[in-house]
Amino acid sequence: MRIDARILLALLALLPLAAQAQADKKLIDKAEKGDTKAMVLLGRCYQNGAGVPLDSAAALQWFQKAADLGDGTAWCYISKLHIEGSALAKDTARYFAIRQEWADKGCPDAIAALGTAYLCGYGTAPDTAKAIELFQTATKKGSAWGCFGLGRMYLGLDGKKYADEKKGLSLMLKAAKLGDLDAIEMLADLYRLRKDYKKAWQWAEEGMKWGMPYATADAALMLYFGEGKATDEAKAQQMMEMLIDKFPHEDFCFELAGTFFMFTDDPALRDSAKAAAIWKAGDAFGGPRCQLRLGDECLRQGLRDEALGYYAKAAEKESDDWHNGQACLNVGEICLGDADTAQAIRWLRRGADKFEAAQCANRLASIYYTEGSHYNPAEVERYLLMSDRLGDTAALNSLFYLYSESGNSEKAAHTAQTLIDRKRSPGHYLMSTLLWEQGDTAGSTKELEAGAKEKCPFACLLLGKIHQNGAIGGDTNIEKAVGYYRLSNLSEAKYLLANIYLDNELGCKKAKEIAKNEAAGLALLKEAATEGYIDAIYRLGGCYETGSHVDSIDHARALSLYRLLSDNGVAAGDFKVGLYYELGDGGLRSDTAEAIRYYEKAAAQGIGMASCYLGDFYKDGAYLAKDEQRALELFTQAHQQGEAAGTARIGLLRLQQGDTLAALPYLRLAAAHGIGEAAYPVATFYEKGLAGLEANGDSAVAYYLAAYRGGSAPAGVWLGRQLIKEESYEQAAACFATAAQRGSAEGMAGYAVCLKEGLGVAQADPEEAYRLFEQSVRQEKIGQSYYNMGIARINGDGCPEDLNLGRAYLDTAANLGFTAAMVGLGACLLDGTGCLADTAQAIVWLERAADNGNINAVNLLGSVYQEKGDFKNAALYYEKAVAAGSLRGYCRLAYCYEEGLGVVLNSKKALDLYTIAAEHGSAEGMMSTAACYANGVGTEPDLTAAAKWFEQAAEAGEPKAMYYLGTLYENGGEGFAADLKKAKEWYKKAAALDYTPAAVALGRL
């Protein structure tokens, strides 16, 4: 059995040969007693080393014994040895003669074996029709060989056009059940490729009992990829070495063993020197597979002549058409690289005409189509038709485009129809493109739908795009687009489908469903990237670079993807690699010179952002000589390429140069394209009336919003502060948090305040707030943060209590001009918190705060002077507080009038001031107003009015008011009836708040 090398390029892992070997004593006894079937089977065991030592001479001996007894199947195995040239001399004539002789005698296996001779052209001219006829005859006679040969044909494994998978699989199963070991191996491979790993393991293990190398290979492949069983790469290496020892005549063993050592994922197991040594050992046996591998490795190392030598050797072989053809193709490609097209054509013709290699025929067609001096449409047509004959399903597609581009719509239509008649789904797609060009959109759409029914990948892809974008006058239908992309399964379709899932274009709202789609999208993106789709590689790199849709940021993986793009000439990859060199991420050391080299490559290919980065170096004079004119040229180049960042940089550079009028149009244009750093200065122009603009608050807010959406951290801080003033705390917290994430120290401080106070967040978090305050001051000296850290240290709120450190932080904040910190520092100096008490210095700080308009400072100064007995100054500060609207100021000034402290005693005025404070929600004002009514201060006693104000204070949560209500209801009075039930209710409420007098009164009642 020969498996296409493209299937076998994957790495192997080991499966231990646990199953009992078949060449047991019972089989040997039967063979020695003259059972010819047992003799043949024992010969196979010696061929594969199944239960007996691998011994080709012993195998031949048992085949010959059975043959001498007239067993035709044994003669077929002997003939096979003549074609392999192992135990017997290679002799195709003798090979064919033996099979013909025993086929003529009616031996079913010989009839099938003769079919193989005709199929491969061994000892006779190739005749596929004759081969099929013989396979069918042998199958009807119950030959396992016949079932196997015919099954291969129906499965299309010989590159022919007889594919009927269901029928082929049925025949292969029949052959296996009749004991054909090649069929057993083939089934393991077939089921693995169909991802039916349970059945694949079943047949692989059966084949391994008989020592079949390809069965072992399939089992190992499944282990390596985790298909049904766990991976074990170390055992895989052992298995590869065992296969080399056991099957030195099998070229694929050397190829795969070397491949495993060269490309294994585990660095500890990788050994390129050993891989090369294994391939060289395979070369010594004359294996074209190993010669191809050695050629590839030499080419990778830049050893062009050595590579050419290995490819040429492989191309001269005649034992393996596919590999011979691949070798011819490789030599041809090297010749093309040397600009020796004539020599390339000679080698490619050898591959196409001698070995019937479709890949060579295709390459010849492309040369004859694209190479000017060799342009020959007739040869293009000839080799594309040859490729089609050799089973290349894409050849007619290329032929269609040849006819279409040359204006031969009749032949193009005929080719498309041929594909449709052969039930090749691309036919409908190609016919649709032809109809579209002819203006028949309805017919084109109909053909696409017909192609989609036959699961044509390109038709499904195009229909998906039509439904996703609402093309051809239709409505957008994402669900239908998803369905068509799934049917397409092309790399581009996977990429587009991945985007739909990752960007939640389906509009899912349930978190579980969104997460499920995100996982599916990431898997599809990885598939498309693995298949080489450039956009998918780039987006996947972005996912790892930013940590979006993946578990965490992984710069090493991102860089490897961007390098892949760069190595394949994709300018976007150059830019990203340059960025990684500049930042020193992904395992790279920062290397600005190398970064600049990559930026220059990207900029030369039209990547505007690369031009921007290069311009930055010139603008700042970093690593390149400062040259603002060169910077402007590069920014202009980016701007002309449609890069909004270049537009913004022109505006910002002009702004830096002091030319606001020249800057404004560029900044506005960049802002319209979502560049936040351009929108922010425009916002300040409108706020302050600069750059020839009139002050306009609405326009300022609009540009601040645009700046924020475009990534500006300062805009986030500005919006956060405005929203706090409007008491839109949740939105404010979001703006501060975003600004903090963008690296703004002020954003960190603002969000920390929200966390500390529980404003707009799920719950207050003093510890996280303190951490953010600390983080912000490490980045920038912010008075607000030092103030909050000081208060937190004094109160032990979210951090260990430390009065000295707290007072020191307040001192720093006050000296940075933060008014609230001046008040706090004044309070510390008054009380001696974290320092020696110093009333005079406290007054200095409080007066500075008061001069800055801080009402708390004004009230506190009033209290300081009141405690000092300077009632006149106290009253003056309380009047200032009242003028500023301070409710506490109203209450303090009212007290002065009630007691005649620093002012003329005026009980009526005291009551009026208390009432104003009460009516504006001051609990202290409510209590004092209630006391005035209860005691007749500034009015006649009125217990009903007193009860009203005590009740309002109680509703505001004041336990003393609850207690006084209880006493009013307990004792009653003139015009106010006692009510012990209500008294108990209010005492209970006050007692529940741990107000002791209420608990005592409740006990008394």
* Beta bridge partners of residue 424, listed in sequence order: none
Spatial CA neighbour of 973 closest among 1005, 945, 938 = 945
Q: What local confidence, expressed as pLDDT, does residue 317 receive?
A: 67
Taking the C-alpha atoms of residue 65 and residue 53, their distance in angstroms, rounded to an integer, is 19
Q: What local confidence, expressed as pLDDT, does residue 189 receive?
A: 87
Taking the C-alpha atoms of residue 784 and residue 360, their distance in angstroms, rounded to an integer, is 74
Q: What local confidence, expressed as pLDDT, does residue 997 receive?
A: 92
Answer whether residue 475 shows pLDDT above 90: no
Q: What is the mean pLDDT of residues 261-281?
A: 84
Average pLDDT, the chain: 87
Give the pair of three-digit tokens for residue 785: 């943060």
Residue 214 CA from chain centroid, whole number? 36
- If 0-12 CB within 10 Å is exposed, 13-18 middle and 19+ buried, where does residue 869 land? exposed
Answer whether residue 874 shows pLDDT above 70: yes
Q: Which is higher by pLDDT, 701 or 54?
A: 701
Q: What local confidence, expressed as pLDDT, does residue 322 receive?
A: 73
Q: What local confidence, expressed as pLDDT, does residue 318 receive?
A: 60
Q: What is the mean pLDDT of residues 880-904?
A: 93
Q: What local confidence, expressed as pLDDT, does residue 76 receive?
A: 85
Q: Is 214 helix (H, G, I), strand (E, B) or coil?
A: helix
Answer whether residue 767 shows pLDDT above 50: yes
Q: Which is higher by pLDDT, 956 or 424?
A: 956
Q: What local confidence, expressed as pLDDT, does residue 323 receive?
A: 80
pTM reported for the whole predicted model: 0.51
Q: What local confidence, expressed as pLDDT, does residue 1 receive?
A: 29
Q: Which residues contact 766 (CB under 8 A, 6 or more apart)?
A: 755, 756, 792, 797, 798, 799
What is the tens place of the pLDDT at every residue in 809-840?
999 999 999 999 899 999 999 989 888 989 99
888 pLDDT tier (thresholds 50, 70, 90)? very high
SS (H, E, C) 692-759: CCCCCHHHHHHHHHHHHHCCCHHHHHHHHHHHHHCCCHHHHHHHHHHHHHCCCHHHHHHHHHHHHHCC
Residue 151 CA from chain centroid, whole number? 42
Answer whether residue 234 shows pLDDT above 80: no
Answer whether residue 942 shows pLDDT above 80: yes
What count of other Cβ atoms lies within 10 Å of the Cβ of residue 661? 9
Q: What is the mean pLDDT of residues 687-700?
A: 90
Give the pair of three-digit tokens for residue 10: 């994957």
Measured at the CA of 533, the angle between CA 341 and CA 300, to 5 degrees, comes to 50
Q: What is the mean pLDDT of residues 626-631?
A: 94
Answer whether residue 20 shows pLDDT above 90: no
Answer whether residue 13 shows pLDDT above 50: no
Q: What local confidence, expressed as pLDDT, does residue 474 receive?
A: 59
Q: What local confidence, expressed as pLDDT, does residue 22 receive?
A: 53
Answer whether residue 937 shows pLDDT above 90: yes
What is the tens place of the pLDDT at every residue in 439-455?
888 888 888 888 888 88
If you write DSSP's letter for every residue of 954-982 in order, what string do you get? HHTT-HHHHHHHHHHHHH-BTTB---HHH
11 pLDDT tier (thresholds 50, 70, 90)? very low
* Beta bridge partners of residue 976, listed in sequence order: 973
Answer whether residue 607 shows pLDDT above 90: yes
Give the pair of three-digit tokens for residue 701: 């807010």
Q: What is the mean pLDDT of residues 88-113?
A: 88
Answer whether residue 653 shows pLDDT above 90: yes
12 pLDDT tier (thresholds 50, 70, 90)? very low
Q: Which residues contact 261 (CB under 8 A, 6 or more apart)?
A: 237, 240, 269, 270, 271, 272, 274, 275, 278
What is the tens place of the pLDDT at every residue in 428-441?
888 888 888 888 88
CB 329 within 8 A of CB 348: yes
Q: What local confidence, expressed as pLDDT, does residue 718 receive?
A: 95
What is the tens place of the pLDDT at every residue in 24-45?
788 888 888 889 888 988 888 8
157 pLDDT tier (thresholds 50, 70, 90)? low
16 pLDDT tier (thresholds 50, 70, 90)? very low
Q: Which of 121-130, 208-217, 536-545 has the lowest mean pLDDT?
A: 208-217
Which residue matches tokens 């003259």?
Answer: 34
Q: What local confidence, expressed as pLDDT, does residue 370 receive?
A: 81
Answer whether residue 284 shows pLDDT above 50: yes
Measured at the CA of 446, the angle between CA 441 and CA 450, to 5 degrees, comes to 145
Taking the C-alpha atoms of residue 151 and residue 168, their distance in angstroms, rounded to an integer, is 4
Residue 542 CA from chain centroid, whole number? 7
Q: What local confidence, expressed as pLDDT, does residue 473 receive?
A: 56
Percent of the chain having pLDDT more than 90?
48
Q: What is the mean pLDDT of residues 253-266?
A: 82
What is the tens place of the pLDDT at every residue in 300-314?
888 988 888 888 888
Q: What local confidence, expressed as pLDDT, does residue 163 receive?
A: 62
Q: Which is higher by pLDDT, 82 or 740?
A: 740
Q: What local confidence, expressed as pLDDT, does residue 319 receive?
A: 57
Taking the C-alpha atoms of residue 619 and residue 639, their distance in angstroms, rounded to an integer, is 16
What is the tens place of the pLDDT at every residue in 484-524?
999 988 999 999 999 999 999 988 989 899 999 999 999 99
DSSP 267: T
Q: What is the mean pLDDT of residues 185-212?
A: 87
Q: What local confidence, expressed as pLDDT, does residue 162 receive?
A: 55
Give me Rg for the CA atoms of the chain: 44
The residue type of 280 is K
Q: What local confidence, expressed as pLDDT, does residue 52 receive?
A: 81
**Side-chain half-sphere CA neighbours of 685 within 13 A:** 18
5 pLDDT tier (thresholds 50, 70, 90)? very low
